[in-house]
Structure formats: structure tokens, C-alpha cells
Structure 1
């Protein structure tokens, strides 16, 4: 049954849809399996339909797909993206989500992992359903989240599957879930050492079609290149209350010294990591910021395990009253709202730097061994990348504080 102009669809639980189909009730649509037909409302237009994702604060208009003839493959599930990654990886994945959603005229389902993923993606308007797995490496018989994933996959039907993970464990889970190989568009690891940014790689992947071709529309992908994060009015209000309660008035400049290795290995191993920068260097940047912006506060960003690392920086800054340790006060929704409002950020190459770029926060990002040509954040704001000139031998410690301070001052230069 082709998608009719002016019709509206609202997301329901997948199990409810399957039950309705089994009873012969609400139809399963060729382009939107997890959808239920409802009456058009005033927001439906002849130009397309509006899909109202449950739990989101904005509607998203999707253009109608071309009429589907009997010779066309029958699409009985929404497009699926499979990607388990770190904080920054999931920020950049929004590029792929937007491209795939635009091409198929549908929200996309996502299979992923990590406690950071739901708060990063839950507000993305193109997200349909997020299916989480706690581990891909745990043996299948010992991992209930893998069982749940396989059950969910078996009930989805067929549609395009964009596989962003190259590990055999995820392939095995897709096979267990009955995903047909002809539906998979897989990331090709060959040539990934080339200096191509990840959002550009996702743009390319999202424009490919599976062997079993499904109807798409032509899309200009250039406006979809930048990753995107959504901050809600409620999250902005929470931030305002927190800033007032904490006494953080005036401009806020963010410093992000930690990275994912800090979470895994802690204080003793950090100094050996290519992204390590001495606490005294961070303190020098903090003092320079406060000299330039006397009414500002410097917020040291990090997760609770990084609190001791940030305290080292505060100590090196002489316990300055305008340098605040935010490690125990910045859950991800509040962190995103803070980044959106911040004057600027200085960060090592890590997830919050990609969030800052996506939210348009002026950014200086410090690189170690990771190549900037592959990992540099991109977004609508001003971004300066430093370091990485020695390739795999590069260390953030190669950078002098004066270089970083000069780059930060250039962010708001004319």
C-alpha cells in the first residue's frame, strides 16, 4: 500500500503493531512497519507527511516516497543503523541517521550500546527506536540484552540495514536475528587510514543501497554533513537553575582535559596517554581565560571518575574561586545545554569536543596520535585544531600552553 500524501503516522510500540497486524487490524505499511494509520491533523501537508516521534518535542516532515509498483522490493521495516561507539562516535553518527532518514522518507531505528547513547540520541528527530545492547563480546548465552536484540530483529521485517560496526560479534547477532545479507550496507574498513573525516564517511555510506534495493528519494546531502545534537527547553531551564544555584554568573568557558581512557584506567595511567596534557598547562589556560574575561567562570568538565584529575588542575590554578570542578555535576543533558550556552571550549580530542562542534560552541581541540584529518570535529561554529603533526608519534604534550591560549583568543577575533 503506497504512502498517501496528507496522512499522518504516529509511532507505537513495535509489539502493539505486530499484534494489530496479526489480528488483521491496522495495516503494516511498506515503508513504515512500526507505524499505525491515524486521521490526518492540521499539520499534514500535501508536500509530505509528518511523523511524530513519541517523547520528542518537535515534528519532522518527511517527503513522500515515489509510488511503489509491484515489481519494487517490499519494505516492511524502517531503515536500521547499527553502530556501537564512544561518545564522539555517537555524535558523528547523527550525520548517517539524517542521510538515511531523508533518503527513505522515514525515521531510522538504531542498535547501539553505552550509557551515553540514549541522552545523546533521544532528542534526535530522525530516531525511531533505539535498541541497546550491553555487550557484544559477552557469550550470547550469558547476555540478556543480546537475546532481546535478536527477538526484536526477528520481529522487524525487512528493510535496509546500515552496518557501521566491523566486528564479527555484531555480524553474528544480526545473523541470529534473521537479517538478510542482501539488506545490509556494510562499512568497508579498507582505506580507513585515509584522511577522510567520519561525517564524510557516513555521508558516503548513507548514499549506498543494499543489494535488495528499496525505494528512495534523491537528496542533497550537503546540508546534512554536520553532526547534530538537540537541546530542549526543559534542559535549558535546568541549566539556568543549576548555574544560579552554583553561582556561575557571566560567560562560561569550558575546559575538557579528560578522555575515555581516564574512565578505564584512572589517574595513574593518564600521563602515559597521547592525549595527556599536564595539569599546570590547563591551569595556565584557565588563568589566561580569566585575565581576558574577568567576569567569566572556567568550568572543568569531566565525569565523576575524573574528579581527582580536575582537582589537580584547580590546585595548579591556585584554587581560583572562578575555576569550578564540574565532574560531579554534569550529567549529559546538562552538559549539552552548558556547551550550547558556553562562550567557548578548549578540549582534547574526545567526545565532548564533537558535541561542542555540533552545538556551534567555538572550540579549540588538541590532538595527540589520532589524525586530525580523520577525527577533527566539524560543525557550524569556529573550530581550531592543534597538534597531530607528527602522526602516530604526536602527543598533546607537544603543544605549549601559549599556542593553546593564542588559538583560544582567535576564536572570537574579528
Structure 2
């Protein structure tokens, strides 16, 4: 058997020979210290609902400022990409469709694990407490010493979520990474960014729909309004009768005759919003927007609106983040944890009886009076004084 040698280019042979000949007597000098690898960008893990992801922007801003870096995010839900599309602190968004599906049956989990294995070590802020996400992080090679985890022991404490994220973002993992000093008090409010293209799209839609003048938004639904195609029932803690919503719409139009009332919701909520419009007598200035409000347009609409009246749900948090004057009505969820905060005027009703609270306990007159009081709000998420 003959041995075949691969030829080496002549110039390489000459350089090697010269190097070997001249390096025999050369002092190699002191050994160079190993270069520490550059840490991967900070990573935030949070698979949450619409409002959860709005409030997560507080954590993103704090972590981005402390590490002087964009942040990567692991998230879920069709609402997350459009909510995060223009967030300036976002580096990479990695989506996972399910954490509960067995690993072998969930390609998005495969992609997540492959991406985690390729990004290297860096600080990881874990906003999810379920073991399935921890298992995925471990499968992706995330070192436990790199994780700063949300504390499940404090879940019931009366602390607003943005303040929880503010505190979490100031903690360091066991394996320390370089940070800079940051004054975080100015980063407390969640933030959303609306693009010029979205504003232009909204303007064209408003013109086509004949929606001129001040816009008052009503948000009657929430993520449980439609489950498996069924509208929420009257015994849900966030349910408010169609007649009540119609009365608010009529009061707004009585105060502002040139206004338009836009009923906001997702396409499956169209029948619910039609009930409200019918209860308002089919008033031509009351518009059902359920089929026309993809998230980018909804955010632009909220930014432009005169005000919003909403149950405790994701778009209410978007309104707070965008500075839209907001009245939010609570059922069983405690306002001490879930109340939206932002730079605009916010009034909160309900939630006074803990788990027994229901939006249906809130009177129409109190709601209309609270909506009218928005102009006297304090701008810090508290009711008017």
C-alpha cells in the first residue's frame, strides 16, 4: 500500500522552514494570560400573556442599561413579536410555541435548545417559574450559576409587576458579569414604541372607516373572553353587561358629540362587541373594531386616542405604557399586583373585595364619573385626589 502525501504550497514550505530555523534560539518571552471569552448578551426568559409582555419591558430596560447591551428574549404567543418589534433594547427574540408539549414533539423547543447551545455563557434572567422552562434551559446548556430567577415565595405579595421586574433586574447571577451603575428609578414604567409606518397605517384606516374626531376606546374583553370559540359567560369576574358598556359609550358621546367610540377586541370577540353596539341603539358613532385591529394598528390607535375604558387585560397595560388616559376596572385579580402604571392619567375601579370582587359590582354612574375625572388624574397610576 502506497502512502499519498498532499502537497503543501511552496510559499507555505518556505515560511515554515524560515520560522523553524530562526526560532530555535529565540526567547519566547513570558506566557500570555488566557483571554476570557466575551459574555453572551443578557437573556430574559418570559412566556407571558399580552399584558405580561408589556410589563416585561421594565426588566428589559433595566438589564440592558446595567450590562450596556441589547437583551435577548425567549417568549411565546402571537402577540409577542408585534409588541416587541420596535423595542430598542431587544437583541434577538426566540419564540417557543409550548413548554408543556413533550420535547420530541415540539420543533420550537428543538430550535430553542439549539440556539441556547450556540450563544455561550452570559447572565440569564428567568421570569418563568415552571419546571418545564428550567428543563429546557438545562437541555440548552445554560449554567445554573448564570441564572437570576424570580422568587416564587413572593408571588402573593402586594407588589406591582413592574416593581418586581425592577428589583429582579438589579440582582446579579452567582457568576458575576461586568455591569455599570444605573439609576433605575426612571426605568420603572413599561414602554411600547409605535413606528411611523404604523401611524400612517392607522391614519389610512381611520379615514377609510370614517372615524374622525376624538377617539374613546372601550375594551370589554380579555384573554378568557373566548375559549374554544365560546364567549365569556356572565359569571366571569371580568364580565360587564353589554348595556353597561353601551351606557358608557352614550355618555362619552353626550359629553363629546364629535367623538367616535371604538369597541376594541380580537376577531372572535366580534359578536360580543356587536351586542354592545346594538345595546347602544346601533349609534353610527359607535364602531366595532374587532376585525380591524392587528396589534401594530391597535398600539397606534391607543397612542392617538382621547382615552380608554377597559377591564383588567393586556390592552389596558398597553394604554398605560403609551400614556393614554385610562380607566381600568378590576374583578378578582388584585390591583395591588396587576394595576397598570405609566406616564399618563390612570384611574382604577373595583378589586376591593379580594377574590370575591367582580366587575359587575361596579356601577355605570361610578364608571362614567371616573372616566370624566381622568382629566384630573395624578399621572402616576393613582386615582384622582
* TM-score computed with the length of structure 2 as normaliser: 0.88
Q: Which residue of 92, 95, 110 corresponds with 1:129? A: 92
Deviations 1:22-47 (A, max 9, x none): xxxxxxxxxxxxxxxxxxxxxxxxxx
Deviation at 1:272, TM superposition (A): 1.9
Report what 1:219 is aligned to: 182
Which residue of structure 2 aligns with residue 369 of structure 1? 332
TM-aligned CA deviation for residue 194 of structure 1: 1.3
Q: Does the CA-based 8 Å contact 1:73-1:212 persist in structure 2?
A: no
Query: Partner of 2:328: helix, strand, or coil?
Result: strand
Task: Quickly say closer, same or farther: Cα 1:110–1:349, change in 2 above 3 A.
Answer: same
| Corresponding residue number in structure 1 for 2:309 | 346
Structure showing greater Rg = 2
CA contact (8 A) 1:365 1:384 kept: yes
Q: Is 1:293 aligned to residue 256 of structure 2?
A: yes
Residues 1:356 and 2:319 aligned together = yes
Aligned partners of 2:106 and 2:231: how far apart in 1?
A: 32
Aligned equivalents of 2:39, 2:317: Cα separation in 1? 34
Partner in structure 1 of residue 192 of structure 2: 229
> What is aligned with 2:105?
142
Residues 1:253 and 2:216 are matched in the alignment: yes
Q: CA shift at 1:76, angstroms?
A: 2.6
Aligned counterpart, 2:72: 109
Per-residue deviation, 1:265: 5.0
Cα distance in structure 1, aligned partners of 2:132 and 2:175: 23
SS of the aligned residue for 2:145 comes to helix
How many residue pairs were aligned? 345
For residue 287 of structure 2, give the secondary structure of its aligned residue in structure 1: strand
Secondary structure of 2:93's match? strand
For the aligned residue pairs, the C-alpha RMSD in angstroms reads 1.3
- Alignment of 1:200 with 2:163, yes or no, is yes
3-state SS of paired residue (2:44): strand
Match of 1:411 in 2: 374
Is the alpha carbon distance of 1:194 and 1:73 closer, same or farther for their aligned partners in structure 2, counting shifts above 3 Å? farther
Mapped pair 1:329 → 2:269: no
Find the residue that maps to 1:324 and give its secondary structure. Answer: strand
1:32 alignment counterpart:
none
What's the CA shift for 1:242?
0.5
Task: Choose the corresponding residue for 1:389, options 335, 352, 376.
Answer: 352
Shift of 1:267: 4.2
Change (3 A) 1:166 1:72: farther
Q: Which deviations, in whole Å up to 9, do the C-alpha atoms of 1:44-79 show, x marking residues without a partner?
A: xxxxxxxxxxxxxxxxxxxxxxxxxx8997543100
User: CA 1:73 to 1:389, structure 2 compared with 1: closer, same or farther past 3 Å?
Assistant: farther
CA distance in 2, matches of 1:408, 1:346: 7
Whole-Å Cα distance in 2 between the matches of residues 388 and 72 of structure 1? Answer: 56
What SS is found at the alignment partner of 1:287?
helix
Q: Pick which of 246-255 and 188-197 moved more.
A: 188-197
What runs of 5+ residues in structure 1 fail to find an aligned partner? 1-69
1:350-390, CA deviations, whole angstroms, 9 ceiling, x for partnerless residues?
Answer: 00000000000000000000000100000000000000000
Out of 247, 271, 279, the residue aligned to residue 308 of structure 1 is 271
Distance 2:108 2:376 in 1: 50
SS at match of 2:138: helix
Q: Is the 8 A contact 2:39 2:177 kept in 1?
A: no
Q: Which residue of 1 aligns with 2:56?
A: 93
Task: Give the unaligned 5+ runs of structure 2.
Answer: 1-32, 378-385
> What is the aligned partner in structure 1 of residue 18 from structure 2?
none
Change (3 A) 1:370 1:151: same
Q: What is the distance in 1 between the residues matched to 2:226 and 2:146?
A: 37
What is the CA distance between 1:269 and its match in structure 2? Answer: 3.6
Is the CA contact (8 Å cut-off) linking 1:88 and 1:352 kept in structure 2?
yes
Cα distance, 1:263 vs structure 2: 3.1
Corresponding residue number in structure 2 for 1:402: 365
Q: Name the counterpart of 2:11.
A: none
CA apart distance, 1:264: 2.0
Q: Over residues 277-316 of structure 1, what are the superposed CA-to-partner deviations in whole Å (9 max), with x where a residue is unaligned?
A: 0100000000000000000000000000000000000011
Classify the secondary structure of the residue corresponding to 2:347: strand
CA distance in 1, matches of 2:34, 2:155: 37
| 4+ residue segments displaced more than 6 Å | 70-73
Task: Answer yes or no: is 1:120 the counterpart of 2:106.
Answer: no
